[in-house]
């Protein structure tokens, strides 16, 4: 039976990436090793997030000796930094939690630069809403000393990007530049199994996702777009609004169901809220790889060149046709 084969021939994320890599002649398995360390971090954070509610109520064994429990986002950051450094495959780390980039000691240095948000949406932890880890990976191609210039590159130079969502299940979505695949953690095996092969975002969606509370400060194209989502000129029904306020969850839904996610500029925050290196770029990379688009209001998001590591940018991403609509509105404004 085909169904049986599926259940017994398990495509783990490691097996998948090894297969992918064997297509490239000069690959030496370095990327697989790096990814395994990222996966380890995700498993750790997943298990901590699952325990968080319980830990608050009864206190976790071993953590009741007076020492105050570390905040989950701080703990997650420590786990990822240590896992990435110990992989021996990284040279620069940029984390949302650390003001400065980390330059890995030459003895442990490799060629990959990893930009990540270890626990995005952490304000949602206490009410049990899905949160996630986001990451983007560059590779250094020169033999000189690594510098910040190696990560201040346009997103289109990323080699791979992904996120892990800690929700009702733990889902890791990854692109290494040839499509997008989703893997779900089987807790009994401790392995991420391919459950969403070759994800393609619907060409046109029926959902828009934005924090409308900021509407009074929006610019005209954004305001017009959202108005159009509610009051269409033709006879088609209005779109549905879905906004969780946790980027990984909002983008994950957009990827699977189609539609558009926007965090636009407004008068108070002219660059929006989301960070270029570890929020905007990885999600834009995944959207393009899934057949969608990502736009900043001025240009293709992946063409942006950040000047600082924590820079922000407005972002509109999702279904191809939906992003096309917003591009037309911004072009008309010029
Ligand atoms: P955080 O880094 O403080 O967790 O903020 C990032 C989050 C994203 O997950 C989400 O898309 C956005 O902030 C929501 O912002 P807002 O509450 O302004 O709508
Ligand atoms: Mg964040």
Q: Which of residues 318 and 232 earns the better pLDDT score?
A: 318
Q: What are phi and psi of 102, to 5 degrees?
A: -100, 125
Residues 52-94 have pLDDT tens digits of 766 665 555 555 444 456 688 899 999 999 999 999 999 999 9
**Residue 214 clears pLDDT 90, i.e. is over it:** yes
Taking residues 104-109, report their average pLDDT: 96
Taking residues 86-103, report their average pLDDT: 97
Residues 263-276 have pLDDT tens digits of 999 999 999 999 99
Residues 160-180 have pLDDT tens digits of 999 999 998 999 999 999 999
Q: What are phi and psi of 111, to 5 degrees?
A: -100, -5
What pLDDT sits at residue 5? Answer: 60
198 ligand 1 Cβ < 6 A: no
Q: What is the dihedral of CA 195, 15, 284, 269, to 10 degrees?
A: 90
Strand order across the 260-263 sheet: 240-241, 207-209, 260-263, 315-318, 293-295
What pLDDT sits at residue 25? Answer: 59
Taking residues 13-24, report their average pLDDT: 86
What pLDDT sits at residue 236? Answer: 75
User: What CA–CA distance (Å, rounded) separates 263 from 270?
Assistant: 11
What are the counts of helices (DSSP H) followed by strands (DSSP E) for the chain?
Answer: 8, 13
What pLDDT sits at residue 66? Answer: 43
Neighbouring C-beta atoms of residue 173, cutoff 10 Å: 25
What distance in angstroms lies between residue 118's CA and the mean position of ligand 1's atoms? 14
Residues 124-133 have pLDDT tens digits of 888 889 999 9
122 ligand 1 Cβ < 6 A: yes
14-18, 110-114, 231-235, 282-286: the lowest-pLDDT one: 231-235
Out of 115, 120, 166, 283, give the residue to mutate to test ligand 1, the one with the largest number of ligand atoms within 8 Å of its CB.
Answer: 120
118 ligand 1 Cβ < 6 A: no
273 ligand 1 Cβ < 6 A: yes
Phi-psi region of 82 (alpha: psi -120 to 50; beta: other; left: phi over 0): alpha
What pLDDT sits at residue 266? Answer: 93
Query: Which residue's CA lies nearest to atom 12 of ligand 1?
Result: 245
What pLDDT sits at residue 71? Answer: 84
**Residue 204 clears pLDDT 60, i.e. is over it:** yes
132 ligand 1 Cβ < 6 A: no
**Residue 189 clears pLDDT 60, i.e. is over it:** yes
Out of 98, 123, 310, give the residue to mutate to test ligand 1, the one with the largest number of ligand atoms within 8 Å of its CB.
Answer: 123
211 ligand 1 Cβ < 6 A: yes
178-203: b (≥16 Cβ within 10 Å) or e: eebbbbbbeeeeebbbbeeeebebbe
Burial class (CB in 10 A: 0-12, 13-18, 19+), 256: middle
* Length of the chain, in residues: 334
Cα distance between the two ends of the chain: 59
Of 61, 64, 63, 98, nearest to 78 by C-alpha is: 98
**Does this complex have an ipTM over 0.85?**
yes
What pLDDT sits at residue 271? Answer: 97
Is 263 in contact with 315 (CB distance < 8 Å)?
Answer: yes
What pLDDT sits at residue 58? Answer: 53
Query: Which residue's CA lies nearest to atom 11 of ligand 1?
Result: 247
What pLDDT sits at residue 67? Answer: 46
Strand residue runs (E) in the chain: 90-95, 102-103, 112-120, 131-139, 160-166, 170-175, 181-186, 191-196, 207-209, 240-241, 260-263, 293-295, 315-318
**Residue 32 clears pLDDT 90, i.e. is over it:** yes
Taking residues 6-28, report their average pLDDT: 82
Instruction: Classify strands 181-186 and 170-175 as parallel, antiparallel or unpaired.
Output: antiparallel
Query: What average pLDDT is seen over the chain?
Result: 92
User: What CA–CA distance (Å, rounded) separates 84 from 297?
Assistant: 34
Listed residues: CB within 5 A of ion ligand 2? 117, 120
**Token digits for 108?**
């442990």
Out of 98, 271, 274, give the residue to mutate to test ligand 1, the one with the largest number of ligand atoms within 8 Å of its CB.
Answer: 274
User: What CA–CA distance (Å, rounded) separates 37 from 83?
Assistant: 6
Of 29, 43, 5, nearest to 112 by C-alpha is: 29
């Amino acid at each position: 039976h085909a169904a049986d084969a599926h259940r017994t021939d398990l495509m783990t994320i490691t097996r998948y990436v090894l297969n992918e890599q064997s297509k490239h002649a000069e690959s030496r398995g370095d990327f697989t090793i790096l990814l395994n360390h990222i996966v380890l971090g995700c498993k750790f954070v997943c298990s901590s997030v699952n325990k968080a509610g319980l830990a608050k109520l009864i206190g976790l064994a071993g953590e009741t000796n007076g020492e105050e429990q570390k905040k989950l986002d701080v703990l997650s950051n420590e786990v990822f930094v240590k896992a990435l450094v110990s992989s021996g495959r990284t040279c620069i780390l940029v984390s949302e939690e650390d003001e400065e980039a980390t330059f890995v000691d030459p003895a442990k240095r490799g060629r990959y630069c990893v930009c990540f948000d270890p626990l995005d949406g952490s304000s949602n932890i206490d009410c049990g809403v899905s949160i996630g880890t986001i990451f983007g990976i560059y590779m250094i191609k020169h033999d000189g000393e690594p510098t910040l210039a190696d990560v201040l590159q346009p997103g289109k130079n990323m080699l791979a990007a992904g996120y892990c969502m800690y929700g009702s299940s733990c889902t890791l979505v990854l692109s290494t530049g040839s499509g997008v695949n989703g893997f779900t953690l089987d807790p009994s095996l401790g392995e991420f199994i391919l459950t969403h092969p070759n994800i393609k975002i619907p060409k046109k969606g029926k959902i828009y996702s934005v924090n409308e509370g900021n509407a009074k400060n929006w610019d005209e194209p954004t305001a017009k777009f959202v108005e159009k989502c509610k009051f269409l000129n033709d006879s088609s029904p209005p779109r549905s609004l879905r906004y969780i306020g946790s980027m990984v969850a909002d983008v994950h839904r957009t990827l699977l169901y189609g539609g558009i996610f926007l965090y636009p500029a407004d008068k108070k925050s002219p660059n929006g809220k989301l960070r270029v290196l570890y929020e905007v770029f990885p999600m834009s990379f995944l959207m393009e790889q899934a057949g969608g688009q990502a736009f900043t209001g001025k240009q293709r998001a992946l063409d942006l060149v950040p000047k600082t590591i924590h820079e922000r940018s407005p972002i509109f991403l999702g279904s191809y046709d939906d992003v096309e609509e917003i591009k037309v509105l911004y072009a008309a404004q010029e």
